[in-house]
Amino acid sequence: MPELPEVETTRRGIAPHIVGEKVAKLVVRNDRLRWPIPKDLASTIKGEQLRSLTRRGKYLLLEFDAGYVLWHLGMSGSLRVLPPGQQASVQTHEHVDLCMANGVVLRFHDPRRFGAVLWASHPVFEHDLLSHLGPEPLSEDFDWQYLYQKSRKRKQPIKTFVMDSKVVVGVGNIYANEALFAAGIRPTKPAGKLTKAQAEILVEEIKKVLARAIEQGGTTLKDFIGGDGKPGYFAQQLNVYGRGNEPCVNCQKPLKEIRMGNRTTVYCSQCQS
C-alpha cells in the first residue's frame, strides 16, 4: 500500500505539471472505486483552474475555487503524468484521466479499486474523511510532549498506537517498524509505558525515517510507481521491515517476525526493549 512518503513523492512529482492549469475534462471510465465517483464531478471542475495540490495524510487535495477533489491511491493505486502528445493507449485498470488544458493528462491506475476520487466543499478539513485525523508527522504539532500525553493510560502496543491515524497520520507499517527499531523500542511495548525520553527519541526517529523516505522517492513496492514514472529507492535502506530471521544490522542476532493487527512486524529482541 502506498504510504505517506509515496503519496508525498507523487504530489511533488505531478504538481509542477498541473498546478495553475485549467481542467479541459475529466474522463471516468470506471466510477466504482472504494466510493462511487460523484456523477457531476466532471461538470463541476471542467474549465476550473487548479489552484494548488496539497496533501493531508494519504489524501491528495486538488484545490479549485469551488472546493477540492480528494484523491486517495488506496491499496494499489498510482498516478502518472502523460505529457502532451504522448498519451499512451488506455490499459486495464486505468480508471480516470484528469485532462488539463495544457495537454497534460493525469492518469489513475488502480487494480484493486480501493482508491477514491471525491469532491469536498470548503472548508475541506471538516470533511468526514479528514476531520478526525491527527497531526502531520513532519509538522511542529507532532512533538514528544504531544505523543507522551496522548499515550497515557493506553494499553495497546506502541506500534499500533503510532499507526493510528487519529493519533498521527501517515506512519504506516513499513515506517513504524523502521522508526521503532531506530528508537530502540520494542513494538509490543504498551503505549502507556512509554517514557518521556522514549517519546522524544521516537518522534525524532519517525520524522527522520519519513523525511529520508520522501527525499529518496518513497519505498519501492510492487504496486507503486512515482508520479514521474520512476520507482522509489528507500527499500534499499530498510533495517528491519521484510528482514525477518535475518541478522540485525547492529548486533547480528536474528530478527524476530510476528503479526500485530494482521500486519507484519519485525524487530530485534536484543536492541529493542
**Tens digit of pLDDT for each residue in 21-30?**
999 999 999 9
pLDDT band at 223 (very low <50, low <70, confident <90, very high): very low
CA pair distance 63, 155, nearest whole angstrom: 39
> Could you check whether 4-126 and 144-267 share the same CATH topology?
no
Q: What fold is seen in the domain 144-267?
A: Helicase, Ruva Protein; domain 3 (1.10.8)
Residue 58 bears catalytic tag: yes
Q: What fold is seen in the domain 4-126?
A: N-terminal domain of MutM-like DNA repair proteins (3.20.190)
12 is in an annotated binding site: no
Share of the chain above pLDDT 90, in %: 81
107 is in an annotated binding site: no
pLDDT over threshold 70, residue 231: no
55 is in an annotated binding site: no
CA pair distance 90, 206, nearest whole angstrom: 39
pLDDT over threshold 60, residue 221: no
CA pair distance 272, 131, nearest whole angstrom: 34
The tally of CA atoms less than 13 A away on the side-chain side of residue 81 is: 21
Residue 259 bears catalytic tag: no
The tally of CA atoms less than 13 A away on the side-chain side of residue 190 is: 6
pLDDT of residue 85: 80
The region of weakest confidence among 28-37, 81-90, 95-104 is 81-90
The region of weakest confidence among 18-22, 50-54, 148-152, 223-227 is 223-227
Question: Global pTM?
Answer: 0.89
Q: What residues does each domain of the chain span?
A: 4-126, 144-267
pLDDT digits (tens, 9 = 90+) for 246-273: 999 999 999 999 999 889 999 999 999 9
Residue 2 bears catalytic tag: yes
Residue 263 bears catalytic tag: yes
pLDDT over threshold 70, residue 138: yes
Catalytically annotated residue among 11, 55, 58, 243: 58
pLDDT of residue 91: 87
How many other β-carbons are positioned within 10 Å of the β-carbon of residue 257?
A: 16
pLDDT of residue 230: 62
